Structure 1
Amino acid sequence: MSVKVLIVDDSELVRKMLSEMLGSDPEIEVVGTASDPYDAREKIKLLHPDVLTLDVEMPKMDGVTFLKNLMRLHPLPVVMISTLTEKGADVTFEAMDLGAVDFVTKPKIDLHHTFEDYAFEIRRKVKTASKVSRYMLERQYARYVSNQQRQPTVATVSSPEKYTADAVLPKKTPSVSRASTGFKLIALGSSTGGTEAIKEILLRLPADSPPIVITQHIPAAFSAPFANRMDSIAAMTVHHAEDGMPIEKGHVYVAPGDKHLLVMREGTRLVCRLNDGPPVNRHKPSVDVMFRSVEQAVGTGAVGVILTGMGADGAQGLKDLHELGVKTVAQDEKTSVVWGMPGESVKIGAVDFVLPLEQIAQKILELGSR
């Protein structure tokens, strides 16, 4: 049975491009298009779509205002279509807070050489969104309302070739142990739904928590705004990772959206290293690459965490950590938007603890203090 999609965008050209991209997949049916939220509201009632693609910035009513009404009255899986601007990033993350499943950047008119890559990405995200339950959408919206009440306001490029972490950092027998490093480090990987999952974890961690390195599959233009957004709400200090940046207690390091993040040892300290190697598991940054570097630089002084996400990136890296003796944690299926990465990790025996999202921060603190 095909996934029924309604495209909501004020640009006739974008509606046409998205219709062509999505409609070319036999598993997707574009049931209609709408030029503004009012038009979309009527067509949702008439066409009963499974998924919406929703423009962030539209006349008459912006995408976030429309999304608030939608999630409150008639939750549907939504993939946001975002502009490559700072404002577009801020609005997109607010949409993710509200319950949007994922986002892609707005297609450019001159897509000649990247049309197929872009089409593959949006088709994949729409099909993934169609599998998200109404329970998950209602849960996310309830969390958004709760957060608004209790606290003050303060992508990944697909590749035709599939490399492993060996393409960036060859595997070798780790020569470090917890005793030799004297260092605790939390290594965390995520993808679809991960921006919100990461936020929920960081909100629960005190300022003096062990350092955290994060690889989240996210477009390059959005990784810095994401890190800045997390820094504004977390007790820990959150950085958009830079090459050579020292890794210190109480700090979080988010991988840039177009570079692999590696943890390397320099004398007695750990530092961030950015690597421009090929995509691994079709992702750059790759969770497997980060986990590989943590295995080699930190050893059993680390804690490995895998959160909600599509695919299997990070599963093998987590298993390697687990087999070394590193304690590992995976988000459970019920609280994951997509139980791909954590599910695969559990399937291959890479996980010590499978926990709902709300319990992961406490487990991190517990394991980080041992």
Structure 2
Amino acid sequence: MKPIRVLVVDGSPTTCAVFKTELERDPGIIVVGTASTPLAARAAIIALDPDVLTLDIRRPGKGGLSFLEKLMRLRPMPVIAVASEIAGGRNARSVQALALGAYDIFLKPEDGSRAHAYDPLRARVRGASKMRVLLRDGPATPAPAPDFVPDGRIVAVGASTGGVDALITLLSDFPENCPPTVVTQHMPEAFTASFASRLDAHCAAAVQEATNGAPLEPGRIYLAPGGSHHLEVMGRERRVCRLREGPTVNGHRPSVDVLFHSIAKLDAPALGVILTGMGDDGARGLAAMREAGARTLGQDEESSLVYGMPRVAHEMGAVEKQLPLSRMTRAVLEQCNAVSTSARVA
């Protein structure tokens, strides 16, 4: 098997050397080059044709995000954005990098000498090397919001790799009086507050990190916080968010499966949506929702950055209909509109 070829882009020669040493501890990874400026990175990409790029989003020249935006627009490839463990996790740059199409974020360890500090970086490189990166989608089809009246249905959405961009596309055309919507996106604790703020700025509806006991209301979107809790929906008469401590499920906390299973138990009208992501988290929960009578939608292969979670859900019969991301908002709103004359998924 050919080794995974990595290009390290960072303004610090020391960091480049550390990354090369740490990445090549995995015999299946080879660092084919380093670059310290956007110009050098562009030349290296053309000359070396790497499989994966690691990119410090503050450097080189504090132009990391600008370089990433142009790269994903003109020559998309798997990119792992690198941020500072101290400041990067709280910085909106990290969320913006994900929205621009970065595969994942690696927080540069404050103490790089500690055991296994770079294990996550090697794992991310291996995961990124398997993904299929697409040119950016065009604008989504406008959603029929002016005559929207919520019918009481809960919308539950799950996403992972590629989900930041997909969620912005899906939710930014939700009307101000959208159905109560709960979202689990695989994301570390340090990023979810920034992502909720970014979504709130893009959406007519109010977006917030879910808090324990927050009532589900029309016009509100609740994002599962990263960390030590899973997001669930509880209650028969008055439905609320519940943050429950517990071990990881399918390797994730929060887990999409946990959210979907909680809604399947409610005996309430609901719609489940599974978006781009690696692995199978959410597939079984979406199947449970469908078995309980909920409508279910899955992102199709062509528009998914990583066709993992939607594929597994589709193959097990959990997905009622697959749709491109550009048609997903319209389909969700049609399913949840009290003035609709039919329950089409189109």
With the shorter chain as reference, the TM-score category is: 0.7 to 0.9
Write the distance in 2 (CA, Å) between the matches of 1:75 and 1:353: 28
Structure 2 vs 1, CA of residues 14 and 204 (structure 1 numbering), >3 Å: closer, same or farther?
same
Q: Is the 8 A contact 1:82 1:88 kept in 2?
A: no
Partner residue, 1:355: 323
Give CA deviations for 1:157-184 in whole Å, capped at 9, x if unaligned.
Answer: xxxxxxxxxxxxxxxxxxxxxxxxx941
Between the aligned partners of 1:240 and 1:111, the Cα distance in structure 2 is 34
Alignment-derived partner of residue 272 in structure 2: 304
- Looking at structure 2, the residues matched to 273 and 314 of structure 1 have their Cα atoms a distance apart, in angstroms, of 18
| SS of corresponding position for 2:105 | strand
The list of structure 1 runs, each at least 4 consecutive aligned residues, that deviate by more than 6 angstroms after superposition, is none
Decide which moves more: 350-359 or 105-114: 105-114
**CA shift at 1:63, angstroms?**
0.3
1:122 is the counterpart of 2:92 = no
User: Aligned pair 1:206/2:207, yes or no?
Assistant: no
> Match for residue 14 of structure 1?
15
What's the counterpart of residue 223 of structure 1?
192
User: What is the Cα deviation at residue 64 of structure 1?
Assistant: 1.1
Q: Distance in 2 between matches of 1:111 and 1:353?
A: 49
SS in structure 2 at match of 1:269? coil
Structure 1 unmatched runs, 5+: 151-181
**RMSD of aligned alpha carbons:** 2.4
- Give deviations 1:218-252, integer Å, cap 9, x for gaps: 01010010001100110111011111111111100
Residue number among 126, 132, 136 corresponding to 1:139 in the alignment: 136
Whether contact under 8 Å (2:158, 2:184) holds in the other structure is: yes
Distance (Å, rounded) in 2 between the aligned partners of 1:124 and 1:110: 16
Structure 2 SS opposite 1:92: helix
Please name the residue that 1:339 is paired with: 307
Distance 1:290 1:368 in 2: 19
Kindly indicate whether the alpha-carbon contact (under 8 Å) linking 2:81 and 2:105 is maintained by their aligned counterparts in 1.
yes
Q: TM-score, normalised by structure 2?
A: 0.86
Q: 2:132·2:306 contact (CA, 8 Å) conserved in 1?
A: no
Q: Does 1:260 align with 2:230?
A: yes
Deviates more, 1:8-17 or 1:186-195: 8-17
Q: In structure 2, what residue type is equivalent to 1:101?
A: Y
1:277-322 C-alpha deviation (Å, 9 max, x unpaired): 111111010011111111123x341111110001111111111111
Change (3 A) 1:110 1:51: closer
Q: What do the CA deviations read for 1:56-89 (whole angstroms, capped 9, x no partner)?
A: 1114352012223433544332111123537863
Q: What does the per-residue CA deviation read over 1:317-341, in whole Å, with 9 as the maximum and x for residues that have no partner?
A: 1111112221111100000000111
CA 1:214–1:103 in structure 2 vs 1: closer, same or farther (change >3 Å)?
Answer: same
Shift in alpha-carbon separation, 1:300–1:354, aligned structure 2, 3 A: farther
CA shift in 2, pair 1:193/1:263, >3 Å: same
Identify the residue that residue 264 of structure 2 maps to in structure 1.
Answer: 295
From 232, 245, 248, the counterpart of 1:276 = 245
What is the aligned partner in structure 2 of residue 103 from structure 1? Answer: 105
2:91 counterpart (89, 92, 95): 89
Aligned mates of 1:187, 1:105 — CA distance in 2: 29
Aligned to 2:146: none
Letter aligned with residue 66 of structure 2: T
SS of the counterpart of 2:251? Answer: coil
Give me the TM-score of the superposition, normalised by structure 1: 0.81
Distance (whole Å) between structure 2 residues aligned to residue 344 and residue 287 of structure 1: 13
Which residue type is aligned with residue 62 of structure 1? G
Asked if the contact 2:88/2:107 (under 8 Å) is kept, the reply is no
Give the letter for the 2:233 counterpart.
V
Residue 273 of structure 1 deviates from its aligned partner by: 1.0
Distance 1:59 1:124, change over 3 A: closer
Equivalent pair of 2:104/2:161 in contact (CA under 8 Å): yes
2:284 equivalent among 308, 311, 316: 316
Does the CA contact (< 8 Å) of 2:232 and 2:241 recur in 1?
yes
* Matched residue type, 1:102: D
Between 1:15-24 and 1:346-355, the stretch displaced more is 15-24
Report how many aligned residue pairs link the two structures.
326
Asked if the contact 2:9–2:56 (Cα under 8 Å) also holds between the matched residues in 1, the reply is yes
